[in-house]
Structure formats: C-alpha cells, structure tokens
Amino acid sequence: MKKINLHTHTTFCDGKNTPEEMVLGAIEKGFDVLGFSVHAPMQPKNDWALPVENLPAYRAEIRRLQKKYAGRIEIRDGIELDRDYVDVDPRSFDYAIGAVHQLNCGGRFYDVDYTPELLQSCCEKEFGGDFLKLAEQYYSTLSDFILAAPVQIVAHFDLIEKFNAQNDLFDSDDPAYQSLALRHMDRILDAKPDITFEVNTGAMFRVGNPHPYPAPFLLRHLKARGANLIITSDAHCVEALDFAFDQVGKLLKEL
C-alpha cells in the first residue's frame, strides 16, 4: 500500500517548514505521495491563510519541487479551501479539501480552532451559551459548503471538538449533539456519495487529543455507510507528517 499524506502546510501559510523541507522529510519517512494543501486566501484576512499576493510564488515553488523530485516522490498540488476563500480557482489544483474554520455571526468572525477561550466567548456572545446552537451553525455551514463547492475531500469534519477532548466546552456524548453531527454527515453523503472524508490526526499531534477527527462515533457511521476514508495528519511541520498513522489505521480496523 502506498504511503500518502494529502493534508500538509508550509511556511507559505501557517506551517513551520518550507515546502522543500517537507518534501525531504516525506522522502526520509518513506512517503510515496505528498500532497500540499495550502490554506487558500481568505476574507477577512488572518495570520494563517496564504496572502493572495504570495499565490504565484507558492504555485511556482510547488511546480519546481514536482520537477526536482520527480521519480523520488509524487508531489500533488492541492489546496485547503475554507468556506470564506477568495481570489483563487480551486479547479486549477489537483484536489481541494473543503473546510470551515470560522463562524460568521452577523459579520463577526470567530475561528473555531484558535483557542478554547475564543470558542467559549463566541458561544456566550453569539449563541447565549448554548453550544448545540453553535454546533448547528458550524455543521450546517460545513455541509452547505461541501455540497456547493468543487471539493473532493471533507476536512476535519468535527473541528469544533478540537479543545473538547475532556468535554470541557460541551458534552460530545449528548445524543442531541451526536444526532446533529450525524444528520449533517448524512446530508453530505446523500448528496455526494463519492466524496472522501479525511481521518485527520492534526489535533492528536498539536493538542494531544486521544482520537482523530472525526470522533469514533462518526467514524463508525462513515464505515457503516461505506464512505471513502483517507488518513491525513494536517502536518504543519516535518515531525507531524505521519503522526499517529499506525495508531489510527488500527483504530479504523477495530471500530
């Protein structure tokens, strides 16, 4: 089986390593395929997406690396497309990973994966402290976007769980929360049965979460529906390139 990671970031957005360092790291770790998935330029501007003025240099660098390392590793030119992307044509990339990282609450934007404090204050200010209402907005925004956008992969489906491994923010075992998340997962699969869900180890590396996105109850549902799955690490540095791939591969077999 080929060793593949299609979800990686570099210094062109919020990663710590250059694209070439990531390629060399992937070769050393025995990868057959490395896909770059830069955060598409977004509005409003933030400190983690690609600034649009750097897009030409980014694309030239990926093309240069594809040529330079041809025969040693297959480099794919992907993109992580947030719902609020601007100034880029996703169809000009090899593939697009669709994501929602921020909630738009009447023109006030809140990143859901920045800090637990920010997510909590968003919940209090915009949803009267009702996390289920926040979750409904997050999942409906995500499923609307995936249905409408030219994306082949669904990114970190339950990203709002990033800071909730201990159920500090909300009770992720609550049947009301689980049925809400499952409803939007079904909505996506009913409309786009061929889409791929990533099983993303990013928060296992970055904040020590015990399981990937999506959570096990969602993974079980994906398996029951026969959905396409791909393990990714959402790597922002070389060390994260294949983080927990073995562990998550085993989890997927056992579920």
Sorted by sequence, the CB contacts under 8 Å of residue 178 that are 6+ apart come out as 172, 217
Residue 233 to residue 144: CA distance in whole angstroms: 25
For Zn ion, give the closer residue by CB, 6 or 190. Answer: 6
Q: C-alpha distances in angstroms, 123 versus 79, 82, 97, 130, 156?
A: 29, 21, 26, 7, 20
Write down the least CB distance from residue 154 to Zn ion, Å. Answer: 11
Token pair in block for residue 143: 């499923």
Residues 87-106 that bind Zn ion (CB under 5 A): 99
- The full DSSP string for 15-57 is -SS-HHHHHHHHHHTT-SEEEEEEEPPBSS--SSSPPGGGHHH
Write down the least CB distance from residue 55 to Zn ion, Å. Answer: 17
Q: Are 192 and 146 in contact (CB under 8 A)?
A: yes
Write down the least CB distance from residue 156 to Zn ion, Å. Answer: 6
Residue 49 to residue 82: CA distance in whole angstroms: 9
For Zn ion, give the closer residue by CB, 135 or 203. Answer: 203
Q: Which stretch binds Zn ion (CB under 5 A): 42-50, 78-86, 144-152, 206-214?
A: 78-86
> In the stretch 203-242, what mask flags binding to Zn ion with x, by CB under 5 A?
-------------------------------x--------
Token pair in block for residue 131: 């996390």
Write down the least CB distance from residue 253 to Zn ion, Å. Answer: 25
Write down the least CB distance from residue 80 to Zn ion, Å. Answer: 5
> In the stretch 116-155, what mask flags binding to Zn ion with x, by CB under 5 A?
----------------------------------------
> In the stretch 21-60, what mask flags binding to Zn ion with x, by CB under 5 A?
----------------------------------------
Phi then psi for residue 247, to 5 deg, are -60, -45
Write down the least CB distance from residue 8 to Zn ion, Å. Answer: 8
For Zn ion, give the closer residue by CB, 85 or 177. Answer: 85
Residue 50 to residue 9: CA distance in whole angstroms: 10
| CA-closest candidate to residue 52, choices 60, 40, 64, 37 | 40
| CA-closest candidate to residue 39, choices 80, 72, 99 | 80
Write down the least CB distance from residue 175 to Zn ion, Å. Answer: 27
The answer to whether residue 199 forms part of the interface with Zn ion (CB under 5 A) is no
For Zn ion, give the closer residue by CB, 38 or 122. Answer: 38
Which residues bind to Zn ion, rule: CB under 5 A?
Answer: 80, 99, 234
